[in-house]
Structure 1
Amino acid sequence: MQFATIFYAFAMLLVCAFAAPLEVRQETVSNVKCTGTKALDFHTSNVALLQICGGIAGSIQKCQGAPKSTTGQSGNVRFTITPVVKGDTINISKGRWEQGIKAAFAVCGQNIPFTATFTGGAAKGDVNVVYAEV
Protein backbone atom coordinates (compact mmCIF):
# COMPACT_ATOMS: atom_id res chain seq x y z
CA MET A 1 0.00 0.00 0.00
CA GLN A 2 2.80 2.44 0.89
CA PHE A 3 4.62 1.59 -2.33
CA ALA A 4 1.50 2.45 -4.37
CA THR A 5 1.11 5.78 -2.58
CA ILE A 6 4.76 6.69 -3.09
CA PHE A 7 4.59 5.60 -6.73
CA TYR A 8 1.42 7.65 -7.28
CA ALA A 9 2.96 10.76 -5.65
CA PHE A 10 6.11 10.38 -7.76
CA ALA A 11 4.05 9.94 -10.94
CA MET A 12 2.01 13.08 -10.17
CA LEU A 13 5.21 15.03 -9.52
CA LEU A 14 6.56 14.01 -12.94
CA VAL A 15 3.29 14.86 -14.68
CA CYS A 16 3.23 18.31 -13.08
CA ALA A 17 6.90 18.93 -13.84
CA PHE A 18 6.43 18.30 -17.56
CA ALA A 19 2.96 19.78 -18.01
CA ALA A 20 2.62 22.59 -20.51
CA PRO A 21 2.43 25.99 -18.84
CA LEU A 22 -0.80 27.95 -18.99
CA GLU A 23 -0.43 30.69 -21.54
CA VAL A 24 -1.79 34.20 -21.23
CA ARG A 25 -3.66 35.42 -24.28
CA GLN A 26 -1.38 37.74 -26.19
CA GLU A 27 -2.87 40.03 -28.76
CA THR A 28 -1.02 40.39 -32.02
CA VAL A 29 0.56 43.75 -32.61
CA SER A 30 2.50 44.81 -35.67
CA ASN A 31 4.25 47.88 -37.03
CA VAL A 32 5.42 48.77 -33.51
CA LYS A 33 7.60 51.86 -33.57
CA CYS A 34 8.97 53.26 -30.32
CA THR A 35 8.60 57.03 -30.63
CA GLY A 36 10.33 58.11 -27.43
CA THR A 37 12.84 57.02 -24.84
CA LYS A 38 11.40 58.58 -21.69
CA ALA A 39 8.71 56.63 -19.86
CA LEU A 40 5.48 58.54 -19.33
CA ASP A 41 3.87 58.67 -15.89
CA PHE A 42 2.45 55.25 -14.93
CA HIS A 43 -0.71 56.48 -13.16
CA THR A 44 -1.54 59.10 -15.80
CA SER A 45 -1.05 56.47 -18.53
CA ASN A 46 -3.41 54.04 -16.80
CA VAL A 47 -6.09 56.71 -16.46
CA ALA A 48 -5.70 57.65 -20.14
CA LEU A 49 -5.81 53.97 -21.13
CA LEU A 50 -9.31 53.67 -19.64
CA GLN A 51 -10.58 56.91 -21.19
CA ILE A 52 -10.81 55.59 -24.77
CA CYS A 53 -14.29 55.40 -26.28
CA GLY A 54 -15.63 57.89 -23.74
CA GLY A 55 -14.58 55.62 -20.85
CA ILE A 56 -14.04 51.88 -20.90
CA ALA A 57 -13.49 51.52 -17.15
CA GLY A 58 -15.65 49.56 -14.72
CA SER A 59 -18.28 47.24 -16.11
CA ILE A 60 -18.06 48.52 -19.70
CA GLN A 61 -16.39 45.74 -21.68
CA LYS A 62 -16.37 47.14 -25.20
CA CYS A 63 -16.14 50.44 -27.01
CA GLN A 64 -19.64 51.92 -27.17
CA GLY A 65 -21.20 53.87 -30.04
CA ALA A 66 -19.00 52.61 -32.91
CA PRO A 67 -16.81 55.73 -33.22
CA LYS A 68 -14.63 56.30 -36.28
CA SER A 69 -11.76 57.38 -33.98
CA THR A 70 -11.27 57.81 -30.28
CA THR A 71 -8.80 59.22 -27.80
CA GLY A 72 -8.11 58.61 -24.17
CA GLN A 73 -6.31 61.41 -22.42
CA SER A 74 -5.21 62.21 -18.91
CA GLY A 75 -2.87 65.07 -18.16
CA ASN A 76 -0.06 64.99 -20.71
CA VAL A 77 -0.70 61.41 -21.91
CA ARG A 78 -2.90 60.50 -24.88
CA PHE A 79 -3.91 57.27 -26.61
CA THR A 80 -5.39 57.70 -30.09
CA ILE A 81 -7.11 54.85 -31.93
CA THR A 82 -8.10 54.94 -35.59
CA PRO A 83 -9.25 52.08 -37.84
CA VAL A 84 -6.83 50.87 -40.50
CA VAL A 85 -9.69 50.69 -43.03
CA LYS A 86 -10.89 54.22 -43.78
CA GLY A 87 -14.51 54.73 -42.67
CA ASP A 88 -14.49 51.65 -40.41
CA THR A 89 -15.77 51.87 -36.83
CA ILE A 90 -13.99 50.95 -33.60
CA ASN A 91 -15.43 48.17 -31.47
CA ILE A 92 -12.38 47.14 -29.44
CA SER A 93 -12.95 45.18 -26.24
CA LYS A 94 -11.31 46.11 -22.96
CA GLY A 95 -9.39 42.81 -22.90
CA ARG A 96 -8.06 43.19 -26.46
CA TRP A 97 -7.12 46.81 -25.76
CA GLU A 98 -5.23 46.07 -22.54
CA GLN A 99 -3.45 43.03 -24.01
CA GLY A 100 -2.43 45.03 -27.08
CA ILE A 101 -0.98 47.75 -24.85
CA LYS A 102 0.97 45.13 -22.88
CA ALA A 103 2.31 43.60 -26.10
CA ALA A 104 3.46 47.01 -27.39
CA PHE A 105 5.08 47.81 -24.04
CA ALA A 106 6.89 44.46 -24.24
CA VAL A 107 8.57 45.77 -27.41
CA CYS A 108 9.27 49.38 -26.37
CA GLY A 109 9.35 49.22 -22.59
CA GLN A 110 6.75 50.07 -19.96
CA ASN A 111 5.11 53.44 -20.68
CA ILE A 112 7.47 54.31 -23.54
CA PRO A 113 5.57 56.15 -26.32
CA PHE A 114 4.81 54.10 -29.45
CA THR A 115 2.75 53.69 -32.58
CA ALA A 116 1.41 50.24 -33.51
CA THR A 117 -1.30 48.28 -35.27
CA PHE A 118 -3.46 46.02 -33.10
CA THR A 119 -5.11 43.01 -34.73
CA GLY A 120 -8.88 43.38 -34.62
CA GLY A 121 -10.64 46.12 -32.71
CA ALA A 122 -12.61 47.48 -35.66
CA ALA A 123 -15.73 46.21 -37.38
CA LYS A 124 -13.81 45.40 -40.58
CA GLY A 125 -10.29 44.87 -39.30
CA ASP A 126 -7.44 46.30 -37.32
CA VAL A 127 -6.77 49.55 -35.50
CA ASN A 128 -3.78 51.89 -35.42
CA VAL A 129 -2.78 53.08 -31.96
CA VAL A 130 -0.65 56.07 -30.98
CA TYR A 131 0.55 56.45 -27.37
CA ALA A 132 2.19 59.83 -26.89
CA GLU A 133 2.94 62.75 -24.65
CA VAL A 134 0.96 65.89 -25.48
Structure 2
Amino acid sequence: MRVASFITALTLALGAVASPIYRRATVTNIQCTDPNTTLDFHTTNVALLQICGGIAGKIQKCQGAPTSTTGKSGNVQFSLTPTVSGATINISKGRWEQGIKAAFAQCGQGKPFTATIQGGASQGDIAVKLEKV
Protein backbone atom coordinates (compact mmCIF):
# COMPACT_ATOMS: atom_id res chain seq x y z
CA MET A 1 0.00 0.00 0.00
CA ARG A 2 2.80 2.42 0.90
CA VAL A 3 4.63 1.68 -2.37
CA ALA A 4 1.51 2.42 -4.40
CA SER A 5 1.00 5.71 -2.53
CA PHE A 6 4.64 6.65 -3.12
CA ILE A 7 4.41 5.87 -6.84
CA THR A 8 1.21 7.92 -7.15
CA ALA A 9 2.79 10.89 -5.35
CA LEU A 10 5.95 10.63 -7.47
CA THR A 11 3.93 10.46 -10.68
CA LEU A 12 1.97 13.57 -9.72
CA ALA A 13 5.13 15.47 -8.75
CA LEU A 14 6.93 14.57 -11.98
CA GLY A 15 3.86 15.52 -14.00
CA ALA A 16 3.81 18.93 -12.34
CA VAL A 17 7.49 19.48 -13.09
CA ALA A 18 7.16 18.31 -16.70
CA SER A 19 4.05 20.38 -17.39
CA PRO A 20 4.69 23.61 -19.28
CA ILE A 21 4.13 26.78 -17.34
CA TYR A 22 2.25 29.33 -19.40
CA ARG A 23 -0.66 31.68 -19.11
CA ARG A 24 -3.93 30.42 -20.52
CA ALA A 25 -5.46 32.48 -23.29
CA THR A 26 -8.35 34.60 -22.09
CA VAL A 27 -11.41 34.33 -24.31
CA THR A 28 -14.30 36.78 -24.08
CA ASN A 29 -17.49 37.58 -25.95
CA ILE A 30 -18.17 33.92 -26.78
CA GLN A 31 -21.44 33.70 -28.71
CA CYS A 32 -22.76 30.31 -29.83
CA THR A 33 -24.14 31.32 -33.22
CA ASP A 34 -25.84 28.15 -34.48
CA PRO A 35 -26.33 25.51 -31.76
CA ASN A 36 -28.36 23.30 -34.13
CA THR A 37 -25.42 22.85 -36.51
CA THR A 38 -22.64 20.37 -35.75
CA LEU A 39 -19.51 20.68 -37.85
CA ASP A 40 -17.50 17.58 -38.75
CA PHE A 41 -14.77 17.00 -36.13
CA HIS A 42 -11.97 16.13 -38.58
CA THR A 43 -12.84 18.93 -41.00
CA THR A 44 -12.91 21.44 -38.12
CA ASN A 45 -9.48 20.30 -36.91
CA VAL A 46 -8.02 20.61 -40.41
CA ALA A 47 -9.49 24.12 -40.75
CA LEU A 48 -8.08 25.03 -37.32
CA LEU A 49 -4.55 24.35 -38.60
CA GLN A 50 -5.06 26.26 -41.88
CA ILE A 51 -5.06 29.78 -40.40
CA CYS A 52 -2.18 32.04 -41.46
CA GLY A 53 -1.46 29.85 -44.48
CA GLY A 54 -0.88 26.84 -42.22
CA ILE A 55 0.12 26.71 -38.56
CA ALA A 56 0.69 22.96 -38.34
CA GLY A 57 3.93 21.14 -37.62
CA LYS A 58 6.95 23.13 -36.43
CA ILE A 59 5.37 26.54 -37.10
CA GLN A 60 4.65 28.07 -33.70
CA LYS A 61 3.25 31.47 -34.68
CA CYS A 62 1.28 33.09 -37.46
CA GLN A 63 3.75 34.06 -40.18
CA GLY A 64 3.77 37.11 -42.45
CA ALA A 65 1.80 39.54 -40.24
CA PRO A 66 -1.53 39.31 -42.11
CA THR A 67 -4.33 41.79 -41.38
CA SER A 68 -6.86 38.93 -41.57
CA THR A 69 -6.74 35.21 -42.21
CA THR A 70 -9.01 32.24 -42.70
CA GLY A 71 -8.60 28.55 -42.12
CA LYS A 72 -10.89 26.54 -44.37
CA SER A 73 -11.48 22.85 -44.94
CA GLY A 74 -14.53 21.52 -46.73
CA ASN A 75 -17.54 23.47 -45.46
CA VAL A 76 -15.87 24.67 -42.24
CA GLN A 77 -14.14 28.03 -41.92
CA PHE A 78 -12.37 29.96 -39.17
CA SER A 79 -12.02 33.71 -39.79
CA LEU A 80 -9.64 35.86 -37.74
CA THR A 81 -9.34 39.63 -37.67
CA PRO A 82 -7.61 41.97 -35.23
CA THR A 83 -9.96 44.04 -33.08
CA VAL A 84 -7.81 47.15 -33.65
CA SER A 85 -7.92 48.61 -37.14
CA GLY A 86 -4.54 48.37 -38.89
CA ALA A 87 -3.15 45.75 -36.50
CA THR A 88 -1.66 42.51 -37.78
CA ILE A 89 -2.13 38.92 -36.61
CA ASN A 90 0.78 37.25 -34.80
CA ILE A 91 -1.09 34.67 -32.69
CA SER A 92 0.85 31.69 -31.37
CA LYS A 93 -0.31 28.13 -31.94
CA GLY A 94 -0.75 27.62 -28.19
CA ARG A 95 -2.90 30.74 -27.70
CA TRP A 96 -4.96 29.82 -30.77
CA GLU A 97 -5.64 26.26 -29.63
CA GLN A 98 -6.43 27.39 -26.05
CA GLY A 99 -8.90 29.97 -27.38
CA ILE A 100 -10.67 27.42 -29.54
CA LYS A 101 -10.86 24.93 -26.65
CA ALA A 102 -12.41 27.62 -24.42
CA ALA A 103 -15.06 28.43 -27.03
CA PHE A 104 -15.80 24.72 -27.57
CA ALA A 105 -16.13 24.28 -23.81
CA GLN A 106 -18.93 26.84 -23.82
CA CYS A 107 -20.64 26.11 -27.15
CA GLY A 108 -19.82 22.45 -27.69
CA GLN A 109 -17.26 20.72 -29.88
CA GLY A 110 -17.76 21.62 -33.49
CA LYS A 111 -20.49 24.22 -32.92
CA PRO A 112 -20.30 27.56 -34.77
CA PHE A 113 -19.32 30.54 -32.62
CA THR A 114 -17.79 34.00 -32.47
CA ALA A 115 -15.33 34.99 -29.77
CA THR A 116 -12.46 37.32 -28.89
CA ILE A 117 -9.06 35.88 -27.97
CA GLN A 118 -6.98 38.21 -25.81
CA GLY A 119 -3.73 39.19 -27.49
CA GLY A 120 -2.48 37.57 -30.66
CA ALA A 121 -2.24 40.81 -32.63
CA SER A 122 0.35 43.56 -32.97
CA GLN A 123 -2.21 45.69 -31.10
CA GLY A 124 -5.30 44.48 -29.28
CA ASP A 125 -7.04 41.15 -29.56
CA ILE A 126 -8.26 38.70 -32.22
CA ALA A 127 -11.90 38.32 -33.24
CA VAL A 128 -12.66 34.73 -34.28
CA LYS A 129 -15.60 33.29 -36.16
CA LEU A 130 -16.20 29.58 -36.78
CA GLU A 131 -18.90 28.89 -39.35
CA LYS A 132 -20.31 26.49 -41.88
CA VAL A 133 -19.76 27.87 -45.41
Give the structure-2-normalised TM-score.
0.83
- The structure 1 segments of at least 4 consecutive aligned residues displaced by more than 4 Å after TM superposition are 21-25
Structure 1 residue matching 2:118: 3-state secondary structure: strand
Q: Which residue of 2 aligns with 1:5?
A: none
**Cross-structure match for 2:96:** 97
Residue in structure 2 matched with residue 53 of structure 1 by the alignment:
52
How far apart are the structure 1 equivalents of 2:73 and 2:65? Answer: 22
The alpha-carbon deviation at position 90 of structure 1 amounts to 0.2
Is residue 35–residue 113 contact of structure 1 (8 Å, CA) maintained in 2? yes
Tell me if the contact between 1:26 and 1:103 (Cα under 8 Å) persists in the aligned partners. no
Structure 1 unaligned segments of length 5 or more: list them: 1-8
- Equivalent-residue separation in structure 2 for 1:124 and 1:97 (angstroms): 16
Cα distance in structure 2, aligned partners of 1:44 and 1:104: 17
TM alignment of 1:61-80, pairs within 5 A: 61-80=60-79
1:30 correspondence with 2:28: yes
Cα root mean square deviation, aligned: 2.3
Q: Number of residues paired by the alignment?
A: 123
Aligned to 1:120: 119
Quote the offset at 1:125 in angstroms.
Answer: 1.6
Which has the larger Rg?
1
Code of the residue aligned with 1:30 in structure 2: it is: T
| Distance in structure 1 (CA, Å) of the matches to 2:24 and 2:31 | 18
Q: C-alpha separation between the residues in 2 aligned to 1:43 and 1:109?
A: 15
Q: Secondary structure, in 3 states, of the residue corresponding to 2:119?
A: strand
Asked whether 1:111 is paired with 2:110, we answer yes
Amino acid at match of 1:33: Q
Deviations 1:21-74 (A, max 9, x none): 958853210000001122200000000000000000111110000000000000
Identical pairs, percent? 65
